[in-house]
Structure formats: C-alpha cells, structure tokens
Chain A
Amino acid sequence: MRSEIKVLLFLIVCLLAGEWGTRWLEPALSKDVEHLAGLETMATRLEPRGRSNVLLLGNSLTRCGIDQGLLREGWRLPSGEAAQVETMYPDASGILEWGQGFRRYVMETGSRPEVVVVGTGRVHLIDSSEVQSERLAAWLVPKDERWAFVKDQKWGLEEAIPFWLASWSRLFANRERIEPLVFYRLVPGYEETSRLINHERGLAMVGRSGGKEQGAVTTRHLQRLIDDVAKVGAKLVVVAMPVPEKYELPREVVEVLKANGVLVIDGGSEHAMEVERFPDGYHLDAEGARRFTTLLIERLNASFGDTGPR
C-alpha cells in the first residue's frame, strides 16, 4: 500500500503545484480572466470621490459595441463633469452574472456609481437555465453569500459540486481556459473549426428541447438587479445592443423595465446597424461602435439633461 500512497501524494503535489501555477499565471490565461481579476481594482475606482461614476455592465456585445473613450468624452452629466466610466463585462455573461458581480464589487465594497448602464442582447436579461457555476463561484458571487446563492438556485449535486470546487480552487475554476489558449495558438484551422463547436452546440440544444420553447420567461434576476441598483442610489439605464438581425427585448423584460421606470435605449431595432458592421457575424467593429456610441451619447445627454442622475 505504501507505493500507492506515494502515487496519491505525488498526484496531490501535482494538483497543488497546478493550483499555485494557475494563481500565478491567472491574468495571462485569457483577456476575460484578466478582466475578471481586475474587478476588485475597478471597484476601488468607483468609490465616491465627488465625481460622476458610471458602471458599464455587459458582455462582449458591450465591450465591442461601445467606444469607451468616446463615451467618456461625450457624456456630460448634469453636474458638467465627464462621466468616469468603469466596466464589468465578462464574456458570455448575462443577468445572473451581472447581478452577482454588482453585489460583490459594488454593494460589498461600498462603491457608489451614479449611473449603471447595462448593455444587453435579446435574451441576456431573462433568467437562464445555463449557468456557468465555476465562474460565478470564483469571481462573481460575494464570498459570504455563497451558501445562500446555492440554496437560491435550487441546484442539484451536478451544479453545486463544481461551484464549491471552483470557489476553493483556481486550478478547477480556470480549467477550461487552458484548451483555447493552447489550441488557438498551435492548432491550424482551430479558430474556424471552433465556430463549428458553437454551431453543433446550438443544434444539440435545439435537439434536446425538441425545438420547443424552454417554458415561461422569468425575470427574477433582473428585478433583483433593479432593486440593488436602487439600494445604492444609482440610476439604471438598459441599452439593447445592436446585432446583425433586428430584435426587440422580450415582452416580460419590457414590462419589468417599464414598471420600474428604467430608461431603455433601443439599439436592437431603432438604431440597428447594417450587416457589414459585424465582421465576425455578431460583434460590432470599431466604426460601428463609434457610430452607435455617438447615438448613445445623444440619447443619454438628452435623457439626463431632463432628469439628471439621482
């Protein structure tokens, strides 16, 4: 048995070394991890210093679709000061991630943005059954709310175990980051072929649901974010980001936003862009982002000129 114990100890040492190495190299794993790792610093910049702070929440649609420099220069808040824009836009995130990130990096740290701008696609504000539990655990759910979060999600073991493993181990939380890092650099044709993965995944999802709708649309997490934003005394703005095909936000989402008096800027249908502005088929290019941000600034200045941030 002694040699087997040595084998197991060796494996434990390997895992510990991997854990240490992952923590050390974490920001280099991907731009997304680098962004997530920088959220704590971002939160300190949002602390009230008598300046007008704006938090931009979203995902890659917002990252690519809003020209931050232009927004900083162009958006004059009623105080006459330029908006100090900070960002939280993890890749492939939605309302659950934004809400939890807001609680962890804004509410818990005492940061006080004056305006919270949420950039969304058609489906990102409705509750989703697809949850990336590892990323939530490692980066977004406030540490002392983890038990309550797991309970609230009504997860089974299959979701809860990776959540807890990721909250303890960076090696586990980042385990899916290594493969793209290696393959995008070393495997010829991987980038084009990886688009197939998403396509196959889409087909598989449709196959599993039998092409039927996934049940009633719910907006629990959206309502919670609206309440949390109100608690810190900020004003909420929702921006429907342009994508190649025109869309409207789901009726249930619009009703919640209207009932809570949230300002909505509709780039999904009103300010839609021509297809050429989406070189990868989904995200705006720099020119598209510039044009959309100009429109956004006009709308924001007009709206805040009337009401001003609370």
Chain B
Amino acid sequence: MWFNSFSFIAFFAVVCVVHWFLGHRLRNLWLLGCSYFFYGCWDWRFLGLIVFTTTFEFVSGRAIGASESAKVRRRWMMASVVVEMSILGVFKYLGFFVTELHQMLRVFGWVGEPSWTLDILLPAGLSFFTFQALSYTVDVYRGQTKATGSFTDFALFIAFFPQLVAGPIERSNHLLPQVENPRPALNARRFRIGLYHVLTGFFKKVVIADNMAWLGNHVFQVSGGLGELNGLEVLLGVYAFAFQIYGDFSGYSSIAVGVAMWLGFDLMENFRRPYFATSPTDFWSRWHISLSTWLRDYLYIPLGGNRMGKWKTGRNLMVTMLLGGLWHGASWTYVVWGGFHGLWLVVNRFVVKERGALGGEWKGMLGMVGTFHLVCLGWLFFRAESMGQAGQLLGLLGAGGWVWTPYAMTCASLLMFFVLPWVAYEAWVERAGSDLVLLEKPWLVRACFYGWLLLMLLWFPPPMPSEFIYFQF
C-alpha cells in the first residue's frame, strides 16, 4: 500500500474518521491495529518480526528501567543491541557477506562455483523500525527516557504507520510522550500544516520523483550498453536521479508528517532543502535528518565525536559515514558512497574550514553549486548497479563528446519544466528562513500554489509509476 495509491487514500480516510470518534486509549489501540494492517499489506509474514522486536525492546526497557545495578542495565542494553543488529544482519547483510566471502575464497582457489544462492527476503522498513526500537532502549539506559509501562503505547511507537516503513526515524523522547498522552484536536493550524505537507509530498513524489525516474533509469539501465551514452547524457541523468531521490524520499517524509499531523502527532522534519547546502556538514544537517542525527547521537558521539583530536575525529567521521552507507543496503556502491561522504566531511573539516575560503555572497553561491555537484557525484555511486558501472560512467563524464542528443534535450527540458519551479519555490523559502513561510501568506496565495500542485498532479503523471526508493532500505 504505497502512500501515492488510491488504496492508501481510502485506508487513511477510514482510519482518520474512526480515530476522531474514539477516546485516547481506544485511539491508540485503533491506530496500532491499523498500523499492523498497513504493514501486513506489504507482507503479513513479517508482522511476527515487528511483534518480536517490540516485545523484546519493551521487556529490555522495563528491565533497564527497573534495575538499580549498572551491570544488569548494561547487559540488557547490550542484549538489545545484539538482537537488533542480528535481525538486521540476517535479513539485510547475510546474503551479501556470504556471497562476498565465497568470492574471496574462490580467488584463492579454496572453493569452486557455488551450487546455491542465499536469497533472503528483506522485510519492508526493517532498517527504520530496528533503529527506532534500538534508540528507545539506549535512551532508557542513558536515562533520557522513562521506560514505558504500556505495551500498546510502545507497540504503537514502533509501528505507527505513517513512519513505519520509511521514517522519519523517531526518538523515544519525542514520539513516545505523544503516544502516551492525549493529543491535540484537529484545529485550523494542524489542518493547514498537514494539508501543506500532504500536497507538497504528493507533488514531490508523483510529479518530480516519478517523472525524473525514467530519465535517470535510462542512464543507469541503458539496454544497449553504456557505450551508447555521452558525457552530457550521463551528467543530466545523474541530475535527474538527484531530484528523483530527493523528491521520492522527502515526498514520502512530507506525506508522513502531514497525515500524522491530522492524527494529532508531530513527526520530526526529515529534509530541509538539502540542495541549498553550502558544505557537506550543512548537507547532512538537511538530508535525512532523522538518520544523520541518529548516527550522530548513537554512533559518532559514543565513538568519541570530535573530542579526541584530529585523527580520531577523522576516524569517527569515516566510521560513521561508512556504516551510514552500509545502512542503506548490502552493496559496495553504498559503502563507497558512505566512504565518499566521510572523506568529504574530513577534508571539509580539516582543510577547507581551516584554510578559509571566499567570503560573502560568492562563498554561498559557489559553496552551494560545488556542494550540489559533489552530492551528485556521490549519487552516481549510490545509484550505480555496480562499481564497474560507476567507473564507466565517471569515464564517460570525463571523456568529452558532449553532444545534445534527443535524450539530453528532453532531459534538460523536463528538468526545467518539473524541477526548476520547485527549486525556485524552495529558494524563496530558504531566503525567508522559515519552513512554513507559505502558510503565513494570504489564503489566495496558498490556494493558487495548491492549485498549481493539484493540476500538475492531475495532468503530468509519470509515464511509469515508481516504487518509493527508501522502502527497500
């Protein structure tokens, strides 16, 4: 049940209407049932996995909260880490590591051709809900969150359907209190903010991401081989993918925030105009914020953060980003993508920042253009089918032969048609310095803006609907 499906709209209408007729406790129970139904629509077999994770973390949290002994508390916390990492390891990484190990042993001639393949089905949203569950136990251990006594509330915190399969990865001290306590009624402000998020989310997903998808796919899945492409086509294809992944993921997050808002919840913002970032640090404070802050709080800082000198800070950045890359999937392209961002953060921290650079307006503009292009370079690795393909595409980019082919002309035109107006809108928001500046404008301005979104949604649907990219993570 995709967010951009008629089934979801019908499902949400029923959920919302029934929800508003119930009292607080029954609402939680209703939302939990609906969340499990929502997840069961993907694959009911993995519901057991969510229930297991929920039960284990609930018990761990209670045990940590109830114990005075540091040793016992630490044991439960470690058990929680081991269990969640094992689940991730088995479902997400086992196949990859077994294959890679086999390849390595083959190189040494110790094993022959495999007569089997390890093909493990990946549960939807596994990386999101395991991270969310794990952060709860760690927060209880750190004393930042009080262990909850209600299993229903905790289960809803883990499985709340708007953010269950693709985030934002919520924190226990932010979402859990909203589950436990009565939530605000749907008033004008909440309706307005929810409408803004839902409409812009649908626009980013359906109009921007899905219309960019087939343009980007052409470069990365060209049937006649990469030799058919020229450098300009590769560049434009990577731009198309950059806006596809942004529209896809931030669109999903916006819809999640909007529908949660109508149910009385405030989810965290996951994106803040990332392509206006002027440095890698700035980029990571705007892109997938819930993951980057999770990695900061539960990995980078426990490793020592920036408190242990240059070399260790650099090491911590690299480890964090490499694991962040691996979080996205079991593939070397993700690892290289993470490593690229880690290296870039290190260079930015110790070379660019210390030497200083251009000042004023120019710094901002150059920083923005440079950061965007380096982010695109990262996306090339991220999207490539293999490291070999990434290398070939990089070679094509550098080889010249930049000719305006029909594909290049179409790609450039459609980027201007679909993406440029949205970038102009974001530039206006960025300049205003307020995420919801549109909502402060007169109703007619909002209405015209929504009218444009709606007509674009109606009249410019993608030739091929695409699945949400981040569901596979």
Contact = CB atoms under 8 A, between A and B. Distances in A.
Interface stretch (B248-256, B277-285, B310-318, B446-454): B446-454
B413 A179 contact: no
A197 B446 CA distance: 34
Nearest to A1: B188
User: On chain B, which size bracket covers the interface?
Assistant: 35 or more
B223 interface: yes
A176 B461 contact: yes
B10 A4 contact: no
Given A4-B192, A188-B409, A200-B221, A157 B461 contact: no
Interface residues of B: mostly helix, strand, loop or mixed? Answer: helix
A197 B447 contact: no
B6 interface: yes
B455 interface: yes
A18 interface: yes
A178 B417 CA distance: 14
Interface in B402-420: 405-411, 413-414, 417
B413 A200 contact: no
A189 B406 contact: yes
B454 A204 contact: no
B458 A171 contact: yes
B464 A179 contact: no
Given A158-B7, A161-B6, A161-B10, A14 B443 contact: no
Contacts of A1: 187-188, 191
A2 B458 CA distance: 26
A193 B410 contact: yes
A196 B5 contact: no
Interface string A185-201: 01111111110110111
A188 B410 contact: yes
Contacts of B408: 189
Contact of B188 (A4, A156, A172, A204): A4
Interface string B373-412: 0000000000000000000000000000000011111110
B461 A179 contact: yes
A158 B450 CA distance: 25
A201 B408 CA distance: 19
Contacts of A2: 188
A203 interface: yes
A188 B461 contact: no
Given A157-B6, A157-B7, A190-B413, A178 B454 contact: no
Nearest to B410: A193
Nearest to A18: B455
B195 interface: yes
Interface residues of A, number: 39
Contact of B214 (A4, A186, A197): A197
Interface stretch (A5-13, A48-56, A113-121): A5-13
B191 A187 contact: no
B67 interface: no
A197 B406 contact: no
Given A14-B454, A172-B458, A189-B407, A201 B463 contact: yes
Of residues B414, B444, B451, B461, which shows the largest number of chain A Cβ atoms within 10 Å of its Cβ? B451
Contacts of A204: 464
A183 to B, nearest CB: 8
A245 B120 CA distance: 40
A162 interface: yes
Given A176-B461, A197-B214, A187 B443 contact: no
Contacts of A191: 406
B462 to A, nearest CB: 9
Contact of A14 (B5, B410, B451, B460): B451
Given A4-B192, A18-B458, A171-B458, A200 B214 contact: yes
Contacts of A186: 413
A187 B414 contact: yes
B459 interface: yes
Contact of A157 (B10, B214, B414, B446): B10
A3 interface: yes
Q: Which 4 A-B pairs rank lowest in CB-CB distance, beginning with the nearest? A: A189-B406, A10-B447, A189-B409, A192-B406
Interface of B: 5-7, 9-10, 187-188, 191-192, 195, 214, 217-218, 221, 223, 405-411, 413-414, 417, 443-444, 446-448, 450-451, 454-455, 458-461, 463-464
15 contacts: A4-B188, A4-B191, A7-B446, A157-B10, A162-B6, A175-B461, A176-B461, A189-B405, A189-B406, A193-B406, A199-B223, A200-B217, A200-B218, A201-B463, A203-B223
Given A156-B7, A200-B214, 11 more contacts: A10-B444, A10-B451, A157-B10, A176-B461, A178-B460, A187-B414, A188-B410, A193-B406, A193-B411, A194-B463, A199-B223
